């Protein structure tokens, strides 16, 4: 009978634990595999609907964002044409902009002929801090579709 008197406290504790776990999952760091899946999906979407519709969706739609995953696209000259985390970058040339370590990562991006990984440092949408990132890049004609996973 004594155990039952603690039942309300146990229910509250369990509910709090579940709530904290759910909150933690929304802040959970995505894996490189998840980044690759989203990049391939975004590349297929770009091929299906064309640049104008795809770039607008990647930049402005929550459909292409999931926690710290988001789609970004640059053209063959390193100009940002879509960015799901920092839309203010659209229209800027990032080719000769170094990351926090001085790496010109966009040179690696535009060298991709089909698809592959590029490592660099970038500001995280969940922490706001610069972190190591690996992005899966898929070339679609003269565009490079990228989605990256942070390494916190």
Q: What is the CATH number of the domain that holds 56?
A: 3.30.450.20
Instruction: Tell me which residue range forms the domain holding 125.
Output: 29-151
Region 70-90 average pLDDT: 97
Q: How confident is the model at residue 27 (pLDDT cuts 50, 70, 90)?
A: low
Residue 14 lies in a domain: no
> Rounded mean pLDDT of 89-104?
96
Q: How deeply is 86 buried, as exposed, middle or buried, from its count of CB atoms within 10 A (0-12, 13-18, 19+)? A: middle
Number of domains in the chain: 1
- Residue 80 CB-half CA count within 13 A: 19
Q: How confident is the model at residue 115 (pLDDT cuts 50, 70, 90)?
A: very high
pLDDT tens for 29-52 read: 799 999 999 999 999 999 999 999
pLDDT at 13: 39
Asked whether residue 76 is domain-assigned, the answer is: yes
């Amino acid at each position: 009978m004594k155990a039952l008197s603690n039942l309300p406290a146990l229910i509250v504790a369990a509910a709090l634990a579940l709530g904290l776990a759910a909150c933690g999952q929304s802040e959970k760091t995505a894996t490189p595999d998840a980044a690759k899946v989203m990049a391939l999906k975004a590349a297929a979407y770009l091929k299906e609907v064309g640049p104008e519709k795809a770039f607008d969706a990647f930049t402005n739609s929550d459909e292409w964002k999931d926690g710290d995953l988001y789609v970004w696209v640059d053209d063959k000259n390193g100009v940002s044409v879509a960015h799901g985390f920092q839309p203010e970058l659209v229209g800027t040339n990032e080719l000769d902009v170094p990351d926090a370590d001085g790496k010109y990562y966009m040179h690696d991006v535009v060298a991709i002929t089909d698809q592959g990984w590029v490592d660099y440092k970038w500001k995280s949408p969940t922490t706001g801090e610069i972190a190591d990132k690996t992005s899966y890049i898929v070339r679609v004609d003269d565009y490079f579709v990228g989605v990256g996973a942070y390494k916190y």
